Amino acid sequence: MRLADAHVLVTGASSGIGAALAHALAGEGARLTLTGRDRERLAAVAAATGASTVVCDLATQAGELAARAGHVDVLVNNAGVGWAGPFVEMPAGSAERLLAVNLAAPIALTRLLLPGMLAAGRGHVVFVASIAGAVGVAREAVYSATKAGLTVFAEGLRHELHGTPGVGVSVLLPGVVDTPFFVRRGAPYPRRRPAPIPPERVARAVVAAIRHGRPESYVPGWLRLPARLRGAAPGPFRLLARRFG
């Protein structure tokens, strides 16, 4: 799909992957609508990319966002929140918020904006999931579940749209990305390896997925191996996961 002059809606665009995406898409000539909760950061990204903005909380305002965005050619469901720690210590309401932002909001936005793409015979829906959704991560059980749900929703939708000309569905499964996400989830990334990758690398993968219609992309690519191992040999995978984390 050509991105030049396409109207692209990017959620979670005030920092991290979303901000990097805004710059990458602007470089492709796309017309951008960016959304996020941090008004000042969002305005700074918009000023640098020529985008319009909608400040909102996806947990409660997905419908309002879709109405204000109008027709879009590409929807990039990037916004996400996390929480790290023992599941039994998760504060009341935290699980519900992760489910609302990470899973329910992307589904709602897709339901509202996909009909316009189908009517136009042109469009693309992108879901930024996580390797956590493919393998499950200790102390991030709910986050892993939301990203797994997002990946499976994308797969089901892709099957449903098979044979529909001009409309594609892509899912991205990045690993550890160097963004403020870990600070916001309440626990820094504790490991030396794998080292966090820059958000610009994920942004480039998203652009490539849209341009070439790639259904599934792991960033970095080697993450496909543990995901495939879990599916093909779950017993050995669990032993390795318990030993190496």
Encode pLDDT of 70-104 as tens digits: 999 999 999 999 999 999 999 999 999 999 999 99
Q: 33 CB contacts (<8 Å, ≥6 apart)?
A: 7, 8, 9, 10, 51, 52, 53, 54, 69, 72
Is the pLDDT reported for residue 195 higher than 90? no
pTM of the model: 0.94
pLDDT value at residue 243: 75
Is the pLDDT reported for residue 194 higher than 90? no
Architecture of domain 7-244: 3-Layer(aba) Sandwich (3.40)
Cis-peptide into 236, omega within 30 deg: no
Residue 184's SS3 state is: helix
Query: H or E element: which one contains 208?
Result: helix 199-212
Q: What is the pLDDT of residues 142-186, one digit of tens each?
A: 999 999 999 999 999 999 999 998 999 999 999 999 877 766 766
Side chain identity at residue 154, one-letter code: A
Q: What is the pLDDT of residues 53-64, one digit of tens each?
A: 999 999 999 999
pLDDT value at residue 239: 86
pLDDT value at residue 184: 72
Q: Quick one: tokens of 130?
A: 């996580």
Q: Which residues are catalytic?
A: 143
Per-domain residue ranges for the chain?
A: 7-244
What would the mean pLDDT of 120-142 be, rounded to a whole number? Answer: 96
Output the DSSP codes for 36-95: ES-HHHHHHHHHHHT-EEEE--HHHHHHHHHHHH-S-SEEEE-------S-GGGPPTTHH
